[in-house]
Amino acid sequence: MTKPIPDKAEVAVEYPDKLYIGTFARSDRFDAHFDKAGISLSLYREGGSDTRKSVRMHFHYELFAEILSDLARTAASVPPADIAHRDALMSGAKALSLALETAAGKDKDGIMKLTPEEEVLLLHAIE
């Protein structure tokens, strides 16, 4: 399910003889989800053939885990005064951690059991 991009994304793909650069903003949409092999991330801009574009990326679990670890090691580079971005990053990271911990404790039907507080935290991060 796609949802609006809350901020901005920039994508660059470089080949030896070509460079493709695209930006995605609040009027565009994204989708991120886990699948059997890893993490899927897609960015979409709707419109005519002259403006429509999409980017799809897939990271296997171990690569994505390494990306998260690298982000953790460089978290100090987020300016301390940038409270809004810092809070959004913390909320998203907490929601992912909680969801992964909870998924390990699914019931026999494969349904995650969240406390009301966990549900609120997860919903806040998704919004």
Task: Please tell me whether residues 64 and 124 are part of one structural domain.
Answer: no
Domain range enclosing 121: 82-127
| Local structure of residue 99 (DSSP, 8 states) | H
pTM higher than the cut 0.85: no
How many domains is the chain built from? Answer: 2
Residue 39's SS3 state is strand
Q: Please give the angle made by the CA atoms of 44, 127 and 29, to the nearest 5 degrees.
A: 5
For the stretch 75-123, pLDDT in tens is: 888 888 888 888 999 999 999 998 888 877 765 455 556 667 777 776 6
Task: Please tell me whether residues 67 and 97 are part of one structural domain.
Answer: no
Task: Please tell me whether residues 54 and 96 are part of one structural domain.
Answer: no
Q: Is 75:88 a contact under the CB 8 Å cutoff?
A: no
Task: Please tell me whether residues 56 and 91 are part of one structural domain.
Answer: no
